[in-house]
Amino acid sequence: MKVFVVLLLAVFTVGCNANPLYAGEPRPRIDVLIDIVKGYVRAAERTAEEIFKEFRKTEFWQILNEHLTEGADVAGRAVHQLPPNIKQALTIIALTGLGLARSADSGLYILKKRLEPYVEEVAPTTDEIASELTLGALQVTDLASPYIEQLAVEVNSYVQGILDHVYTLRENS
């Protein structure tokens, strides 16, 4: 009987890389939480990419892309006609925005370091929150899909109004 148990154990563990005597070191809860959040972010990115790929195939996207390209060309020509002091002010504004973004990044890093001790207290509820977020994301996707076409029509009308306004401005100048 003992031989049979040993043989049975050997047959079922062939090809298995797990060591039954050593299960591995436990991971810190912050790492588990980070992995969960990264997984949800990756899933959200994939979903957004799929939606965007489908959206780019629509006629509405083609028209919108053409109009945005035309608008960018008009804006580019307008920027070259600005006085030097306005160009300098725009440069200063852009650089200030970069500085603010960098200080926000460093502030978020400091905040992360300060909050790490509290994560272990909150970690037990992360699975529940993660499942609720997944369910909520699925519900939002289900609810939003019927309204995408309606949104496309509304955006198209706004874009058409803007283009009409730009064309009249172009004709008047």
CB 70 within 8 A of CB 170: no
- Distance CA(82)–CA(113), nearest Å, equals 45
CB 132 within 8 A of CB 40: no
Token pair in block for residue 127: 């699975």
- The radius of gyration of the chain from alpha carbons, rounded to an integer in Å, stands at 28
- Distance CA(170)–CA(163), nearest Å, equals 10
This prediction has a pTM of 0.27
What is the per-residue pLDDT for 171?
80
Query: pLDDT means per 10 residues in the chain (173 residues)?
Result: 56 53 63 79 83 84 86 78 81 84 86 78 72 81 73 81 81 74
The values of phi and psi at residue 82, to 5°, are -70, 150
What is the per-residue pLDDT for 35?
81
Tokens 């050997």 found at:
10
What is the per-residue pLDDT for 46?
84
* Nearest Cα residue to 115 out of 30, 13, 28: 30
What is the per-residue pLDDT for 108?
84
Which DSSP state fits 18?
Answer: -
Domain locations in the chain? 29-81+125-172
* Nearest Cα residue to 37 out of 112, 127, 115, 100: 127
Q: At what angle do helices 29-56 and 126-144 cross, to 10 degrees?
A: 10
- Distance CA(97)–CA(104), nearest Å, equals 10
What is the per-residue pLDDT for 54?
84
User: Would you call 146 helix, strand, or coil by DSSP?
Assistant: helix
* Nearest Cα residue to 131 out of 51, 26, 39: 39
